[in-house]
Amino acid sequence: MSGRHLLGVGDLGAEGIGEVLRLAETFEEVGRRPIPRVPALRGKTVVSTFFEESTRTRLSFELAAKRLSADLSTFSSASSSLKKGESLRDTVLTIEAMGVDAFVVRHACAGVPAQVAGWLSGEASVVNAGDGAHEHPTQALLDCYTLVRERRARFGAEPQRPLALAGLHVAIVGDIRHSRVARSCLLAFSALGASVTLVAPPTLLPPALEGWPVEVSHDLDALLPKCDVVYLLRLQNERMEGQFLPSPREYTATYGLTAERARLLGPSALVMHPGPVRRGVELAAEVADGPASLVTSQVASGVAVRMAVLYLLLGSGALVGA
Amino acid sequence: MGKRERALLRPGKFRGRVLVMDAGDVQRAVWRIAHEILERNRGTEGLVLVGLQSGGVWLAKELAKAVAAASGSEAGRAVPVGALDVAYYRDDIGLRPVLPVAATDVPVALDEAVVVLCDDVIFTGRTVRAALNALMDIGRPAAVQLAVMVDRGYRELPVRPDYVGKNLPTRRDEMVDVSSEGVMLGEVVDEVSAGGQS
Amino acid sequence: MLVAGGTVVDQGGSRRADVLVKGEVVAEVGEGRALRAPAGADVLDASGCVVAPGLVDLHAHLREPGAEEAESIETGARAAALGGYTAVVAMPNTSPPADSAAVVRQVLQLAKGASCDVRPAGTITLGREGRVLSPMAELAALGVTLFTDDGTGVQDPGLMRRAMEYASVLGGVIADHCEDAYLVGAGVVNEGAVSSALGLPGRPAVAEEVMVLRDLALARLTGARLHLLHLSAAASVAAVRAATASGVQVTAEATPHHLALTQEWLAGYSTAFKVNPPLRTSADMMALRQGLSDGTIDVIATDHAPHPPEAKETSMCEAAPGMVGLETALAVSMTVLLDPPGSLSSPGRDNEAGQEHWTGLPLERLLAAMSWLPAKIAGLSALHGGPVAPGAPANLCVVDPARKWVVRPEKLASRSHNTPFAGQELTGKVRHTLLAGEPVVVAEEAQR
């Protein structure tokens, strides 16, 4: 890891992602022990600062911190700090003054983790737990981890280092425009050697894709037979009402992985979704629960991957003397 | 200092100076320790050999073969071997780079087992302390014993091995390199000066 | 008082001349010869400097009444004087807004004794809500010449048409903040490669273009005088150019920040660079400069928008848009626009792209855009921006064009320090400013 923060997948590179995946494996073993906790981060304080609600991600980070024996505090406020008459910077510096080693930051607006990193006066690390439509790097890391592990378990596919996903074709389908998961995943997948195709209606694509390591398609049916992995994004409620899409029904008909459409997939193709799955919209129930689905496995990987990230930033000493 | 400690320090290259044990010496020490383990534990019942990643893993495997062979017809059955990485239990996390070198893999339940921890070199005793804590999170063994190929002294914690291949007086700044090929005493030198000499 | 050793630059051109000021007016301009200061008169050293009519800003948010923690008329006027301005038009988006005679009178009252002439603009609609016309005739009777809902544009085209028709007989100008609210949505930065990479919602250039085209069509229909505030997009410049050629009465302004900065500055999520309309591409920036060069854009206006720290030290989505500009406008413009053009230290190569094609403006054109043209648009030509000649009001600025200085936000006289030019080395600084013969800035120090 190049710096003391994890703000985006770009902070890691293929080597860094590989290191996270390697450590995540050791933490997954820890998770299977009768006492699934190691004293690695004793004396370190992690504060989860969630300015936007998120039960799953917060729980996962908090479990990760606890299983590393870090002290954990939680700051939760979905309301604007401005409404309380205190700036976001003041809020962050107040928490920092209490003695914090890592901030896990989630915010509805892109860039806040980077801003927090810029405001800190001490040595604390910042981990991006999702910022607006920008990035959600730990989600992408756990997806890479899941994919590598499942391919090894199912097909005996030993990952090449550092390009653990070399040669794979991944389609990311859905609301790319508003998705931090899509941004982080496409960066991580392509950093590991996969070729990524974005599939979405034009209204749900980012306004400009110059410089992005992706292809774009609007024809899911044509693409599916060539895909090793289909990654479906969650469609938020507010996107379904009129402005971006006519209706969820039309979305499913065009871009949903229905049971019928899933039959176009090759025998070894895998299906992923960051959850929570909207069954019948993005993904048919029988596909989500079917043998090609990694959805449950993705959720299970979260804690170990986040332990790896926290340990790399706070405990590994990768930064000692650097 | 064994391979693990060396790996934790800044990059350098081990340069051997004196061959302290040759391959035959190491093999004979393994055989002797195997017999001592059998003698102390009256057989292989409940025995699990756990090597510390990474320098102790080969020793655990060698001891397992020797123990199985020495116990003769009574057991020909294999003694379970595990591997333990203690990085997350070390007390110098944050003081220097500490990363696990390989996965922990303990294939059997340790409750009520007699665990023989195996390592190449015992030095300060801090690695063994970490290993004891790690073991306790994995199970509750009936007893834990410690086997090392080389005891080089300089203990900082009240830890004493049960089985020792060789007691080897060293200077504190020296290094000990252990493998099935032999035991070398030497120093770690900078990559640059090592390169210059080769 | 004698302004000695400088070069006078005004609409009459440039000549080496001392300027003698008596009372509130210029008494004598000693072209080509040294004037002697009368006994007891002060001498202001203008050696190496340009002596020009005081600058006029059509677009400053002075925040009073209502947001005095950000700026007051007193502090804003002091900042203006330090920037070489002798007159500023105060934007009406105060709290309460300048949509009534009472608020306009209050601003005029507060402006007495300020370091520059402060002229309140009035709103187009009550409360800037875009529903009911303001009492524009009543405001005009108090001297208001510029009407705007700035902060936002008038979205309802029917209402905008009526506003133009109504204002056309008042001698006023309708000034619009051109952004279509529907196309802008929740956008915070220019829509495009940067917004996509940052994951921030975008404000497309077309939101401005659509509004510019609408306003130009309505101005053609109504015959009203239209002024377009802070243009930012290449397409807008092209639209104004075409409309001007076909006879529409339109004037337009660009800000120093849109002329000097591009969207790449936002890459680090610095809220100092958040502004509406947003910083755009280098192609847009170069189109604005070209527009300024060929006269399509008449005026450089600051859009001075002070905000207290807590309004900026938050997320990009919540941060208040805008930046202070009165004290840096001339220096930034001189640094990046004059011939030969300089440049700012830049965050990325794209900011430099295209700049090699910029040949630079003559100083006279720059001063026209910052002094006599804005004075004319605001109906202030009798007092401001006039030629430096005997009998003319002594509203003057003395500028050292070679002076290099570094922008230190904490040193700004404005109550707020939200400048995007922090740490930049600029070339050109105001040495003295005279307001009605009074030295309000002497040797770079405010006197009031």
DSSP C311-355: HHSS-TTTSPP-B--TTTHHHHHHHHHBSSP-----SSHHHHTTG
Name the more confident of B194 and A89.
A89
Which structural domain range is residue B143 located in?
28-172
Three-state SS annotation for A77-124: CCCCHHHHCCCHHHHHHHHHHCCCCEEEEEECCCCHHHHHHHHCCCCC
Domain ranges, ordered by start, for chain A: 9-135+299-314, 137-298
**Stronger pLDDT, C68 or A320, i.e. the higher one:** C68
Contact B100 A39 (CB under 8 A): no
ipTM reported for the complex, 2 dp = 0.93
In a domain, B193, yes or no: no
B189 touches chain A (CB under 8 A): no
- Average confidence score pLDDT of chain A: 92
Average pLDDT of the residues in A24-39: 94
What average pLDDT is seen over chain B? 88
Averaged pLDDT for residues B165-173 = 94
Task: Decide if B46 contacts B109 (C-beta within 8 A).
Answer: no
Whether residue B10 is predicted with pLDDT greater than 60 in this model: the reply is: no
In a domain, B20, yes or no: no
Strand partners, A270: A229
- For Cα atoms C203, C206, C211, give the angle at the middle one, nearest 5 degrees: 105
**Chain centroid to CA C437:** 23
> CATH classification of A9-135+299-314, choosing from 3.40.50.1370, 3.90.870.10, 3.30.465.10, 3.40.50.720?
3.40.50.1370
CA distance B191 to B185: 18
Cα A292 from Cα C327, distance rounded (Å): 64
In a domain, B13, yes or no: no
Max CA distance (Å), chain C: 67
User: Residues 103..142 of B with a Cβ closer than 8 Å to A: which?
Assistant: 103-105, 133-134, 136-139
Average pLDDT per 10 consecutive residues for chain C, totaling 448 residues: 96 95 96 87 95 98 96 98 98 97 97 97 97 97 97 96 95 96 96 96 98 98 97 98 96 98 96 98 97 97 97 96 98 93 68 64 96 97 96 98 97 98 97 97 96
pLDDT at residue A322 is higher than 50:
no
CB contact under 8 A, A38 and B89: yes
| Cβ pair B118, B60 in contact under 8 A | yes
Q: Which two tokens stand for residue A44?
A: 């370190």
**C-alpha span between C240 and C246 (Å, rounded):** 10
Residue B181 covered by a domain? no
Where helices occur in B42-198 by DSSP H, the ranges are: 57-70, 72-75, 126-138, 191-197
User: Is B9 domain-assigned?
Assistant: no
What is the three-class DSSP state of C189?
strand
Check C310 against A109: CB less than 8 A apart: no
Residue A273, burial from CB neighbour count under 10 angstroms (0-12, 13-18, 19+): buried
How many Å apart are CA B187 and CA B46, to the nearest integer?
40
Q: Specify the length of chain B in residues.
A: 198
Q: What single-letter DSSP state applies at residue C369? A: I
Chain A interface test: which of B93, B95, B132 (most A C-beta within 10 Å) = B93
**Which residues fall within 8 angstroms of residue A270, CB to CB, at 6 or more apart?**
A147, A150, A151, A228, A229, A230, A292, A293, A294
Phi-psi region of C13 (alpha: psi -120 to 50; beta: other; left: phi over 0): left
Q: Percent of chain A having pLDDT more than 90?
A: 84
The residue among B17, B89, B6 whose CA lies nearest residue B55 is B6
pLDDT tens per residue, range A160-208: 888 999 999 999 999 999 999 999 999 999 999 999 999 999 999 999 9
Q: Phi and psi dihedrals of C139, rounded to 5?
A: -70, -40
User: Which subunits count as partners of chain C given 3+ CB pairs below 8 Å?
Assistant: A
Q: Look up the CATH superfamily of A137-298.
A: Aspartate/ornithine carbamoyltransferase (3.40.50.1370)
The domains of chain C, with CATH numbers, are 54-385 (3.20.20.140)
The stretch A269-282 carries a mean pLDDT of 94
Contact C290, C265 (CB under 8 A): no
Whether B45 is covered by a domain: the verdict is yes
Q: What is the pLDDT of residue B9?
A: 52
Best CA proximity match to C371, nearest among C388, C355, C359: C388
Q: Do C318 and A180 touch (CB under 8 A)?
A: no
**Helices and strands of chain B, counted as H and E runs:** 6, 8
For residues C144 and C138, what is the distance between their CA atoms, to the nearest angstrom? 9
Of B89, B97, B100, the CB nearest to A317: B97
Q: Is residue B179 part of a domain?
A: no
Q: What's the longest Cα–Cα distance across chain B?
A: 55
Q: Which residues of C are catalytic?
A: 303
Contact in structure between A61 and A103 (CB atoms under 8 Å)? no
Neighbours of chain A (3+ CB pairs under 8 A): B, C
**Which pair of structure tokens corresponds to residue C46?**
């203008």
- Residue C411 C-alpha from the chain's centroid: 21
Residue C354's pLDDT is what? 52
Nearest by CB to A114, which of C268, C314, C317? C268
Q: How many distinct structural domains can be found in chain B?
A: 1
Residues in chain A with CB shorter than 8 Å from the CB of C70 are: none
Residue B78 pLDDT > 60, yes or no? yes
Q: Is residue B6 one of the residues assigned to a domain?
A: no
Task: Return the number of CB contacts < 8 Å for A and B.
Answer: 60
What was the pLDDT predicted at B195?
42
Instruction: Return the pLDDT at C341.
Output: 75
Distance from CA of A23 to the nearest CA of B (A): 7
Note whether C196 contacts A207, CB cutoff 8 Å.
yes
**More confident site: B197 or B36:** B36
Is-same-fold flag (A9-135+299-314; A137-298)?
yes
Predicted pLDDT of residue A242: 63
Q: How large a percentage of chain B has pLDDT more than 70? A: 88
Is the pLDDT assigned to residue A321 strictly greater than 50?
no
The residues, any chain, with a CB within 8 Å of residue B16's CB and separated by 6 or more, are: B177, B184, B185, B186
| Cα separation, A231 vs A216, whole angstroms | 14
Question: Whole-model pTM?
Answer: 0.91
Q: Hey, which residues does C396 pair with through a beta bridge?
A: C53, C434
Q: Collect all residues of chain A within an 8 Å Cβ-Cβ radius of residue B88.
A: 26, 30, 38-40, 68, 311, 315
- Residue pointed to by tokens 């009465």: C249
